[in-house]
Structure 1
Amino acid sequence: MYPYVLMILVVFMYAGNLLIGKAINDLPPLTITFFRLLIAFTVLLPIGYRSVLKHKSLFLENKKPVLALSLSGIALFNTFIYGSLQFTSSSNAAILESAIPAVTVIFSIYLLKEKINQIQSAGVLLSLFGSIWVIVDGRLFQITHLQWNIGDLIMIGAILSWALYSIFVKLYMFRFPPYGAVLVITGVGVLLLLPAVVVEWLILGVPSIFSREYVAGLLYLGVFPSFIALIFYNRAVELLSASKASIFLNLLPVVTMLGAGLWLGEQITRMHVIGAAIVMVGVLLTTQGGRLRGKKDLTEQTSNVERKTQN
């Protein structure tokens, strides 16, 4: 259960990421991403710098994997998220982000040659169905009438970025010490974003980030989704797989809607409860499908042995 608990905590932190990101979306997206990562790097520095110094040669020998991890999961993903929230609602962002597990499964099959059984495949589809159900309040036939806009299109970039990051975690993260790796890829992300955020300030002007709301929001983004959730997610992917760990992101719309109801006073309907149940069943099938299939195979093998013995 340990990796599953980690992923549930990750989901709550990422739901907070969407809600806080929407609350402070008066700030430009690159500015939010840059200060989020800068705060995360500052928090990580006293924890991971010794590990980085000890394994300095390892990181230098793996510059391309480090760049891939930083670009996909740190720089691009966060920029796409906050760019999307400039134009679309947190609910739309949540439903689109729930497509990440399905995309990750496809990438895992073709790039990692992972295999999932029929029970797990059904779980992927069911959890995605439940996520859609939550957002459209059970009115599935009206999904085409949602107000798709440029923010929804930007979210496609976030989906692809995180799916690729999940693949890179499985391929490369085991090479590095965990805290040192997160410190390095976060630091590289800050360096990658620095020239981009300067250009943003030249175009839009330097924003004032020192209001209480902005400071509190950026501190949350810098500590929880940037640091703690990333450590938890990386560990869960190592213990499970990229496709199984990412399926938990299908819970994101459920938690986001609950957060919006408690924080923003939005009504939680019966359709939301039904959708939440569907998502949870889908996650259960995906995470436990391999075990259920294994028990079935073991039962079949035992029966075959018994029949041979009787004969």
Structure 2
Amino acid sequence: MKANIYFIIATLFLGLNFHLSKIVLAEVSFIEAISWRFTLAGITLFLLAYKNLKSLQLKRSSIKGAALVGGIGLLGFNVFLFLGLRNSSAINAALIIGLNPAITVLLSSIILKTSLKTKHLIGIIISFSGVMYLISKGNITSFQDIDFNYSDVLILIANIFFALHHVWVKKYSSELENTSFTFLAILFTLIGILVFLPFVEIQEIASHSTKFWFAISGLGILGTGVVFYFWNYSVQKAGADQAGIFMNMVPLFTALFAVFFNEYLYRYHFISALFIISGMLIMKINNRKMSYYSMILKRKLKM
């Protein structure tokens, strides 16, 4: 129950994050935005994990896990997400991230050797169809005329990194207390950011607006530090597949917050959301219900 509550709180802030990121990226480069985000998140998690860090005993596998989660999963997700958000809407980004459960299930079957059932494959196909419909802005009449949004494709790549993050958290985080593991992961994310810093120009702090500071504070402290503390705890307790399913709430919260950020919803948003959520619900159906529905369908076909 506690894990489910944490998942819901985390998805609420994740939905808000897409709008806050747009505000931040209007003033700074994506690398500077990521740097501020994870610096604030690192400070937040250090304060949360301070007592546990004093007695921290690291193992090689836990260091490897934190490096994969932070240095590849989180960093890769944020780099491609922020690159995509420069020319894509918060609503588009949230809907594409809604495909995360399908990608997580696929990667979980490869890395964690979890079973991949027929319902998963059906759900994945339906959900991916919804994302393709979104990326093409509903233009499916002629494949040659489809105007693919390059930024949406970048967000789709970001989704793969986020799915890897889920799987690696489940695989490696059990050896450490949640706040300690999450803090280490953020630390490795910051180390990864250092690789990019020589190639970008960082603006003077005094040049940033009050609006920027409010947005980056919400994004870093609540939307990253607190979110990943709640999220990783819930992944530890409930599993990576459950984390992916709760990601369905992110587009809903993003759409609700859109009212306050002058974002527009179009018909293709609703249609693609219907496909994505339907695919996720199919993946959630238990095997007994799936067998029942299959039996009913077979009877109707015979008639």
Q: Would you call these one fold, judging by a TM-score over 0.5? A: yes
Distance 1:259 1:288, change over 3 A: same
Does residue 286 (structure 1) correspond to residue 283 (structure 2)? The answer is yes
1:87 is paired with a residue whose SS is: coil
Q: Distance in 1 between matches of 2:20 and 2:122?
A: 33
Aligned to 1:114: 114
Alignment-mate amino acid for residue 210 of structure 2: R
Aligned to 2:259: 261
Q: Distance in 1 between matches of 2:142 and 2:8?
A: 30
Aligned to 1:214: 212
Structure 1 vs Structure 2 CA RMSD: 3.2
Distance 1:136 1:76, change over 3 A: closer
Distance 1:237 1:129, change over 3 A: farther
The aligned runs of 1:86-235 (5 Å cut-off) are 86-128=86-128, 141=141, 145-149=146-150, 151-201=151-201, 206=204, 210-235=208-233
> Which segment drifts farther, 248-257 or 224-233?
248-257
| Contact 2:69-2:165 within 8 A present in 1 as well | yes
Cα drift, residue 215 of structure 1: 0.3
Cα drift, residue 198 of structure 1: 4.0
Distance 1:154 1:130, change over 3 A: closer
Aligned to 2:239: 241
Q: Distance in 2 between matches of 1:95 and 1:281?
A: 13
Which consecutive residues of structure 2, in runs of 5 or more, have no partner in the other structure? 293-303
> Which segment drifts farther, 190-199 or 30-39?
190-199
Q: Distance in 2 between matches of 1:140 and 1:2?
A: 43
1:63 is paired with a residue whose SS is: helix
Q: Distance in 2 between matches of 1:174 and 1:128?
A: 31
> Which segment drifts farther, 140-149 or 86-95?
140-149
Q: Number of residue pairs matched?
A: 290
**Cα shift readout 1:172-207 (whole Å, capped 9, x = no counterpart):** 011111011111211222232134224312xx7557
Report the TM-score when normalising by structure 1: 0.78
Alignment-mate amino acid for residue 221 of structure 1: L
> Which segment drifts farther, 271-280 or 6-15?
271-280
Q: Distance in 1 between matches of 2:238 and 2:45?
A: 25
Distance 1:272 1:156, change over 3 A: closer
State the identity as a percent: 21
Cα drift, residue 34 of structure 1: 0.7
| Contact 1:3-1:240 within 8 A present in 2 as well | yes
Q: Distance in 2 between matches of 1:265 and 1:92?
A: 10
| Contact 1:104-1:243 within 8 A present in 2 as well | yes
Aligned to 1:48: 49
2:247 is paired with a residue whose SS is: helix
Which consecutive residues of structure 1, in runs of 5 or more, have no partner in the other structure? 297-311
Aligned to 1:28: 29
| Contact 1:124-1:247 within 8 A present in 2 as well | no
Q: Which has the larger radius of gyration?
A: 1
> Which segment drifts farther, 5-14 or 165-174?
5-14
**Cα shift readout 1:119-157 (whole Å, capped 9, x = no counterpart):** 4544444555566677878776589734412x2343243
> Which segment drifts farther, 225-234 or 30-39?
225-234
Cα drift, residue 267 of structure 1: 5.0
Alignment-mate amino acid for residue 109 of structure 1: S
Alignment-mate amino acid for residue 173 of structure 1: S
Alignment-mate amino acid for residue 283 of structure 2: T
Distance 1:216 1:154, change over 3 A: same
2:208 is paired with a residue whose SS is: coil
Q: Distance in 2 between matches of 1:133 and 1:2?
A: 36
Q: Distance in 2 between matches of 1:51 and 1:155?
A: 35
Q: Distance in 1 between matches of 2:130 and 2:7?
A: 18
Aligned to 2:10: 10
Cα drift, residue 101 of structure 1: 2.2
Cα drift, residue 78 of structure 1: 1.3
Q: Distance in 2 between matches of 1:255 and 1:135?
A: 20
